[in-house]
Chain A
Amino acid sequence: MCLALPAQITDIDFTTQMAIASVDGVKVEVSLALVDDVKVGDYVLVHVGYALNKIDEEEALKTLALFAEAGLTAS
């Protein structure tokens, strides 16, 4: 039962396909090897170090609001 926490991409190293993403204010390193066409500012779902898929901003913000409402995230 893994939570689908949206993470916003803040920095990308295209040579290594690695990126820095922000998950509830926490910076995490993620691999972009499993997704296409991701750019800085996009939201992705992250699982154990990999971006699983890109999601649109509206869906990401809706999901983050749900987690915040339940007290699962700080923001």
Chain B
Amino acid sequence: MTPAGEIHIELMHRAGRVDSVTIASTRPEAARVLVDKTPEQVLSMVPLLFSLCGNAQAYAALLACRAALGLAAEPVADAAREGLVQLEAVREHAWRILLDWPALLGQPADKAAMATLLKLDRQFKACLFVDGEAFSLDSRLLINVPGFNGLIAELTDLIDRAIFGGGLGRFLAITDAAQLLDFVAGNTGLAAQLLNALYQRDWLALGNSSVACLPELEYAELHQQMHNADLSAFCLAPQWQGRCYEATPLSRQQAQPLIAELQSRYGRGLLVRFVAVLLEVTAIPKHVAPPTRATVGGAGGVGLAQVQAARGLLIHRLALRQGRVYDYRIVAPTEWNFHPDGVLAQGLKALQATDADDLRRQAEWLIQAVDPCVAYRVTLHKQ
């Protein structure tokens, strides 16, 4: 195990029926490295610290620093930054789809497509900001519209070929469950193969959980909760008003008519989760600058920012004293979703497998659907 830590998931079962679930994390509290630094130093360090969701982390840090310093918002630049965060979400989802979904289907990963996508992703910042410096206090916009649009076209083409077998247009036109089933039956792309496997195995509702989606958190309420909370405990295992919530792509997509219909039929199981991810992968390149739900605020040297990262809500909160960070906290979506009593734990408890091998397979699919941002390990214990 490396210093990045991991999530260890243990299932206690009898002949494939789960009795109890334990989820433990050895991930370090990385934000402590930012204590005693100036806001400028924080903003130069954050991109070095995080390999995944680097844009979301850097944007949340920028918003929190700006709020703590009492600096004004930058509407146009922030719209460009939000676009970068959303494009990063496509990259993060594509990682799972191209490298991990084939493994679920017993196929080799599509490393070539992922390598191409990573190369494209690195070029977006340079099309929007001078020297690609998007997340510093003195970033300057320099929008290269033809270059940006060219990258979006390449990204869309790649997604069409690698994920939808040339059927992206057809997938985008789906509005109800019957059309989804038609698409799955008539397409040979990776997405259709994965969804088809769910239909074939009757796993559409697998891992259904009653844990609700996290509502939009008002700045003042979140500020108050974090002000009064044991912050270390909150960052490791966050709850809102005493309850666990899920903060996933499904939380963002649940109002979509297709998702609402699928959810009413199959609950919040595997089908609705995988379709929510596919909706984001297809919608973001098409509408790359929609309004964001990022909320920000600050007072008395405290800055608080919420950004929708690929896997769900990301919170940064910092407190400044004499121009330096006195306290810095980060609450990542994985902490909500892999909470010991959260959506994954509840979904795992609902699994009903025929034996240990089947249980492990089902658990792997559900974990991939909820999507942790770090390495994980699953151990089964027979009761």
Contact = CB atoms under 8 A, between A and B. Distances in A.
B32 interface: yes
Range class of the A interface residue count? 20 to 34
A57 interface: no
A68 B273 CA distance: 38
Interface string A37-48: 000000001111
Max chain B C-beta neighbours (<10 A), residue from A1, A33, A63, A67: A1
Contacts of A50: 99
B178 interface: no
A31 B204 CA distance: 33
B45 A66 contact: yes
Interface string B63-77: 000000000000000
Contacts, number: 88
A73 B332 CA distance: 21
Interface string B1-12: 111110000000
Contact of B50 (A1, A48, A59, A62): A1
Contacts of A3: 3-5, 28, 30, 49-51
A73 B5 CA distance: 11
Interface in B326-367: 330, 332, 334-335
B51 A4 contact: yes
Interface residues of B, number: 34
B349 to A, nearest CB: 25
A12 B371 CA distance: 30
B48 A26 contact: no
Given A33-B115, A52-B118, A67-B33, A5 B2 contact: yes
Interface stretch (B16-24, B52-60, B184-192, B297-305): B52-60
28 contacts: A1-B332, A1-B334, A2-B373, A3-B3, A3-B50, A3-B51, A4-B51, A5-B3, A24-B3, A26-B2, A28-B2, A33-B111, A33-B112, A35-B115, A36-B115, A45-B51, A48-B374, A52-B118, A62-B48, A63-B48, A63-B49, A66-B33, A66-B45, A70-B33, A72-B28, A72-B30, A73-B3, A74-B3
